[in-house]
Structure 1
Amino acid sequence: MIGRLNHIAIAVPDLAAAAARYAGPLGARVGVPQDLPEHGVTVIFVDLPNTRVELLHPLGAGSPIAGFLQRNPNGGIHHVCYEVDDIHAARDRLAGEGARILGDGTPRIGAHGKPVLFLHPGDFDGTLIELEQA
């Protein structure tokens, strides 16, 4: 059911410094910051030959990333995103197998302008999973 690895998301306490590390010492192509108020984050995508890294920073005090950074002040891997051909069919299949879909189960538009859903980390070996419509 899951397809290509779309990105690995890393929560960072300093977005500009993290972007500079990827662009400088690592020599990666780094995008521009994007505010996503509906998700409570500012993101920067780092393009790699085979996938992307998403640098996440809180956008406002109510951001879920703010809580993550309180527990992990140096930042860290937040989630892994996989593409699916049909996000509604994937949701229904996963829910039917007992997986917990976060939120109300309705896909929301993500950073790439495509529908996304998140799956509870307790159902996937402690890893928060994002599914994105391919």
Structure 2
Amino acid sequence: MIGRLNHIAIAVPDLAAAAAKYRDRLGADVGSPQALPEHGVTVVFVDTGNTKVELLEPLGADSPIAAFLDRNPAGGMHHICFEVPDIAAASARLLSEGARILGDGRPRIGAHGNPVLFLHPKDFDGTLIELEEISPPGNR
């Protein structure tokens, strides 16, 4: 069902400082900040060539990333994202197998403009999983 690893997300207390570390110390290709109010975050994507690192900073006090940083003030890995060709089919299969989808269970539009959903970390060995619908290469 899952395809390639799309990104690894890291929650950070200071997005500009984190982006500068990746750009200046590691020589990475770092994108521009992108506010995602529906998700309560501001993100920057770091292109590693074979995948991406998503740096997340809270956008407002109600952000789920703010709660994460309360527990982990220095930041840390927040989730991993896998690509799927059909998010509705993936959701139906996961639900039929007992997995829990966070929120209202319906996909939302993510940072890349594609439908995403998140799977409960207790169902996946303590790891928050994001699924992102990506069309197969011939259909993009």
For 1:40, the equivalent position in structure 2 comes to 40
Q: CA deviation at 1:24?
A: 0.5
For residues 100 and 31 of structure 1, what CA distance do their matches in structure 2 show? 32
Q: How many residues align structurally?
A: 134
For 2:21, the equivalent position in structure 1 comes to 21
Return structure 1 stretches of 4+ with deviation > 2 angstroms.
none
> What secondary structure does 2:113 align onto?
coil
For residues 66 and 105 of structure 1, what CA distance do their matches in structure 2 show? 22
Q: CA deviation at 1:133?
A: 0.2
Q: CA deviation at 1:95?
A: 0.4
Q: Alpha-carbon deviations, 1:64-115, whole Å to 9, x = none?
A: 0000000000000000000001000000000000000001111000000000
For residues 66 and 104 of structure 2, what CA distance do their matches in structure 1 show? 21
The CA RMSD over aligned residues, in Å, is: 0.3
Q: Taking structure 2 as the reference length, what is the TM-score of the superposition?
A: 0.95
> What secondary structure does 2:104 align onto?
coil
Equivalence map 1:1-134=2 (5 Å): 1-134=1-134
For residues 117 and 40 of structure 2, what CA distance do their matches in structure 1 show? 15
> What secondary structure does 2:27 align onto?
coil
Q: CA deviation at 1:38?
A: 0.2
For residues 117 and 45 of structure 1, what CA distance do their matches in structure 2 show? 19
For residues 129 and 64 of structure 1, what CA distance do their matches in structure 2 show? 15
For residues 49 and 41 of structure 1, what CA distance do their matches in structure 2 show? 24
Q: Taking structure 1 as the reference length, what is the TM-score of the superposition?
A: 0.99
Q: Alpha-carbon deviations, 1:111-134, whole Å to 9, x = none?
A: 000000000000000000000001
